[in-house]
Amino acid sequence: MGRAAGLYRAYEKRADPNWRDREDRREEAAEAAREEAAERAAEAEATARQARQARQQKNRQSQEREQRSSRREQDDQQREAAREDRAAEGRRRHAEGLDFDRMRQPCWAKYEEAFAIFKERALGAGTFQVREIPLPPKGMVVEAAPDAESWRLHVKQATLRWHPDRWVQFEALLVDPIERALLKQVTEGMFRSVTRAKLRGFGFVRFPARSAGMWCPTE
């Protein structure tokens, strides 16, 4: 059958003068089919590549979202831990309060010197701690005076120093609410003490006896 088919094709070529055109058209059709198949394969590959890229991008975005969410959770945990630490420190400091014995100065001269240094340092640095505020010697909210006129002048100076309005600029330097509360405690307490001393008058003042612990030697 193969030989007969070959003879038939040879006869067909001799009998049909347009056989070559027909062969060319057949080859062109086959080539066009191959090109179309190659194009479809290329399009399919491009589509698959785009799908892979889209999946990879989606996976990256999902991982990035998870990482951002994890970082946010860590940041929230750290902020919450920091808030708890600050709250615990504030509760501890509030429970401990202030050590007034450490804040009191041994004599009035050292108190005036320490207060001037504190004021200059606090305003220059823009911050301070309430425990750094120097207080007058124990039992001496007003400086001792030899007569009533001098004593009234000392009362006026003490009243101006501890008046709450004079401490507004210092309160603005404090960020911690615990420190602000402690500052209010100190200033209002000192102002009340000065007011009580003023109401009692010079004749009722009981200044402590002269001693090395309360009076500084004259240089």
Task: State how far the Cα of 19 lies from the Cα of 12, in Å rounded to an integer.
Answer: 8
- Per-domain residue ranges of the chain: 2-93, 100-204
d(CA 33, CA 192) in angstroms, rounded, equals 105
Rounded to an integer, what distance in angstroms lies between the CA atom of residue 172 and that of residue 53? 57
pLDDT digit string (tens) for the chain, length 219 residues = 555 655 555 555 555 566 566 666 777 778 888 888 888 888 888 888 888 888 888 888 888 888 888 888 888 877 877 777 666 665 555 545 688 888 999 999 999 999 999 999 999 999 999 999 999 998 889 998 888 899 999 999 999 999 999 999 999 999 988 899 999 999 999 999 999 999 988 876 544 444 334 435 444
d(CA 168, CA 189): 16
pLDDT at 204: 61
User: What pLDDT, on a 0 to 100 scale, did the predictor assign at position 215?
Assistant: 39
* Tokens read off for 195: 């007011």
Helical segments of 97-175, H only: 100-103, 108-125, 148-162, 168-171
* Cα-based torsion angle of the residue sequence 150, 155, 158, 159 in order, rounded to the nearest 10 degrees: -140
Query: What is the rounded CA–CA span in Å between residue 89 and residue 179?
Result: 11
Q: Which residues pair with 104 in a beta bridge?
A: 135
d(C-alpha 175, C-alpha 127), whole Å:
9
Q: What is the pLDDT of residue 217?
A: 46
User: Residue 17 corresponds to which amino acid?
Assistant: P
Q: What is the pLDDT of residue 142?
A: 93
